[in-house]
Amino acid sequence: MARASLQAVIDRLRFLTSASRTDEFGGVIYWSDDQLQEVLDLSRVDEPLRITLEKSDSGYFFTMPTYYAHEIVAVEDSQGNPVEDYTVEVYGQKVVFTFLEDDTYVATVVIYDINAAAAGVWERKAAQRQGLVSIRSGVHQIRAEQERDFCLQRARHYRARTAKVIPLPGSNRYVPAAVWSRR
């Protein structure tokens, strides 16, 4: 069963890859939420990040780069206590939290390279369509290899948009959780 906290990311990946829930290849039905989560997990950034939320008039927030998707796994207050009572709204790249009290909050977030995941799905779709053949009967023609070529073109498109985030020296905007715990 796909993680509920990852459902928005799975839905976004399904949209980017035109992943129907009813594709069938070799007697197997594709693309369930579990199958898309498996691809997403392959694109997960190594360590969860601990992000100190910034305060604004609209609430507490952090901003994700456009090529990443996120899964919030924990929120803590300034004392390190888990916070359960909050709401989250996403406005494009901005993730806004609303809490009942003012405090300093830290979110532990797992991030996924959504473009790498999309490229992975398109590559799997292309592999599934590798065996399709073209048929010609009189003036009628079916060129099935075009479907595979389209999948490969979409995979190249998303693969070219993948990126690695390299922290800048002296910057602690995004600090891996393993580093945070040693502070």
* Run means of pLDDT, 10 residues per run, the chain, 183 residues: 84 93 86 93 85 88 80 91 90 87 91 92 89 74 81 92 62 51 45
pLDDT of residue 173: 57
Model confidence, pTM? 0.74
pLDDT of residue 177: 47
pLDDT of residue 133: 64
pLDDT of residue 168: 55
pLDDT of residue 163: 61
d(CA 45, CA 82): 23
Convert 21-58 to b/e letters by CB count within 10 Å (16 or more is b). eeeeeeeeebbebebbbebbeebebeebbbbbbeeeee
d(CA 97, CA 90): 9
